Amino acid sequence: MREIRYTLLSDGSSDNALLPALTWLLREYLGARAIQAEWADLRRLPEPPKKLTDRIQMAVDLYPCQLLFVHRDAETQSYEVRKGEILAALSKLRFSPPPAVCVVPVRMQEAWLLIDECAPRRASGNPNGRQPVALPELAGLGQLPDPKQVLYDLLSQASGRTGRRLKKLRLNQCAKRVADYVASFDSLRTLLAFRALENDIAQLVREQEWAMAP
């Protein structure tokens, strides 16, 4: 198997921004092996499933893969509670799923995007801007009450726009592009949730012998 194909099943419509981070982590352990990423966007279905088990089943049916990532934001719950919910849903499937990894940012996935000063500049269309971009302290990312609003504020600052031009900036679209411009997610290794994700990926790659297979 020369290519690893993975699918991300996420909580919301903007959580496909996790794809660059997941691909970056896989690249750390798979080297030059080709990686194909898919986001399971179930919103377009006539009747999208609501229960997590049903969503997982539908994601695998529609987006076949060798590796499944299941995302839940921790929000007001602990990492352990959210991961337990995912594992419980996986255990209820009517079929044997592909190897799965839980993705549980604390608190929301937007917190993992607040690490690169250049990324919001480029995502907002102002790559050469000089306006100050006040990134939050890395150690406090997990305690931010509203990471999405912090990200939007950073994008507004980085855009250099004011008044009517700022009001026309589509922050939700800009936010989806930020992850594509993050040069490295290495600094997130100081966060427990990100380290847990990396450890699970590393263990799975070893178990599947993906790094060694031709």
H helix or E strand, kind and range, residue 31: none
Answer yes or no: is 214 within a domain.
no
Position 122 scores a pLDDT of 96
Where in the sequence is the domain holding 123, given as residue range(s)? 110-181
Model confidence at 104: pLDDT above 60: yes
Question: Are 101 and 129 contained in the same domain?
Answer: no
Mean pLDDT to the nearest integer, 119-145: 92
- Could you tell me if residue 186 is inside a domain? no
Contact (Cβ atoms closer than 8 angstroms) between residue 53 and residue 16:
no
The residue-averaged pLDDT of 49-55 equals 95
pLDDT at 1: 55
Examine the domain organization and report whether 196 and 95 are in the same domain. Answer: yes
pLDDT top residue among 96 and 119: 119
Residues 145 and 169 in one domain: yes
CA 91 to centroid of chain Cα atoms: 23
Query: How buried is 22 (Cβ within 10 angstroms: 0-12 exposed, 13-18 middle, 19+ buried)?
Result: buried
For residues 43 and 15, membership in a common domain is answered with: yes
Residue-wise pLDDT tens digits, 182-214: 999 999 999 999 999 999 999 999 999 998 655
- Kindly report, residue by residue over 56-69, the tens digit of the pLDDT: 999 999 999 999 99
pLDDT (0 to 100) of residue 75: 86
Is 175 part of a structural domain of the chain? yes
| Same domain assignment for residues 97 and 131 | no
Report the number of distinct structural domains present in the chain: 2
The answer, yes or no, to whether residue 13 has pLDDT greater than 90, is no
Same domain, 130 and 199: no
Phi, psi of 111 (to 5 degrees): -60, -30
Sheet holding 3-9, edge to edge: 34-39, 3-9, 67-71, 100-103
* Res 59: pLDDT: 96
Task: Specify if 71 maps to a domain.
Answer: yes
As a whole number, mean pLDDT of residues 29-50 equals 92
My answer on whether 22 and 101 are in the same domain is yes
Is the per-residue pLDDT at 142 higher than 80? yes
How many angstroms separate the CA atoms of 101 and 204, rounded?
Answer: 8
